[in-house]
Amino acid sequence: MASKCSSPFDKFKVLLGLFLLLINVASAQLSSNVYATTCPRALATIKSAVGSAVSNEARMGASLLRLHFHDCFVNGCDASILLDDTANFTGEKTAGPNNNSVRGFDVIDTIKSQLESLCPGVVSCADIVAVAARDSVVALGGPSWTVLLGRRDSTTASLSAANSNLPSPALNLSGLISAFSNKGFTANEMVALSGSHTIGQARCTSFRARIYNENTIDSSFATSLRANCPSTGGDNNLAPLDTTSPTSFDNAYFKNLQGQKGLLHSDQQLFSGGSTDSQVNTYSSNSATFSTDFANAMVKMGNLSPLTGTNGQIRKNCRKVN
């Protein structure tokens, strides 16, 4: 009788199935009511702090959303991005995609301090980051979703993984699809998540090559950007990712792409005569569909390889292990 794993490919399929099963088991351990009895004011506390931060600076909403994305895409949603460097490892804050770019650490610190006063050692930093991202989107007029909770915090971080796993603004469409596919996302989910660029700003160094070298950009749009992003210098000067309504979570980002006004090269790649054009058209004309798809994709992202149960820890200070 032939073996059920008679070829290397069969064995690979079995191993892949076991791997996916482990991920599903970990996700299944997350629940929306983890803190219902152990810290009943946790979610209200996070919402209030995020609301204050976004009220003080609308851009902070985009920064907190991005913080969640940059955490989850590097070894899962484990708050590794929050860790400062130690003698044992170099953290993720100085990785190329994060250095002088990722923000919101002080807001997370404030929330953590408040929660430690309410219920010490109960709410993980990873959960705070996940909830803060959702509350930021809502604060800027976007959709809400149920954040599953129960993540634990990592005890290490990886500079190399942050440098290799986070999609670059220079990626072409095929590279974007591949980068998200590596994390289990479809091309449609990638487009939906890219819609997060309807809020926030980018540094000149991220879009200089596009506004000086590409012809797939509206000429007047490029000219206006060059005033604040010279060919040399001004690397940290900022421009909104969505020039229409940069502090409102809406579908204007996709309309900008239709007019060749995507700020980043990777943005415009979503509407460049390729396979995702139709998705951009759909989101541009139907904001409700975009909101629904975005919310569903965010739930999926928040479930990327969480540490649960006895894995990891609940940090007392989000910047360092206990």
User: Catalytic positions, please?
Assistant: 70
- Judge whether 74 is annotated as a binding position: yes
Report DSSP letters for 147-191, one per residue: PPB--BB-S---HHHHHHHSPPTT--HHHHHHHHHTTT--HHHHH
12 close to 19: Cβ distance less than 8 angstroms: no
How does DSSP classify residue 202? Answer: E
Give the tens place of pLDDT for each residue, 175-203: 999 999 999 999 999 999 999 999 999 99
Where do the H-state alpha helices sit in the chain?
A: 8-28, 42-56, 59-72, 105-118, 125-139, 159-165, 173-181, 187-194, 204-213, 219-226, 252-258, 265-268, 277-285, 287-302
**Residue 106 assigned as binding residue:** no
Given a cut of 80, whether residue 220 has pLDDT beyond it is yes
Q: Which domains are seen in the chain, by residue range?
A: 42-166 (1.10.520.10), 173-300 (1.10.420.10)
Specify the 3-state DSSP secondary structure of 201. strand
| Cα separation, 203 vs 76, whole angstroms | 26
> What pLDDT digit, counting tens, does each position of 271-296 carry?
999 999 999 999 999 999 999 999 99
242 is in an annotated binding site: yes
pTM across the whole model: 0.90
Q: Does residue 24 register a pLDDT over 60?
A: no
pLDDT tier at 6 (50, 70, 90 boundaries)?
low
- 10 is an annotated ligand-binding site residue: no
The answer to whether the annotation marks 220 as part of a ligand binding site is no
**Mean pLDDT score of the chain:** 93
* 105-139 pLDDT, tens digit each: 999 999 999 999 999 999 999 999 999 999 999 99
Annotation-wise, does 277 bind a ligand? no
**Residue range 260-268: average pLDDT?**
98
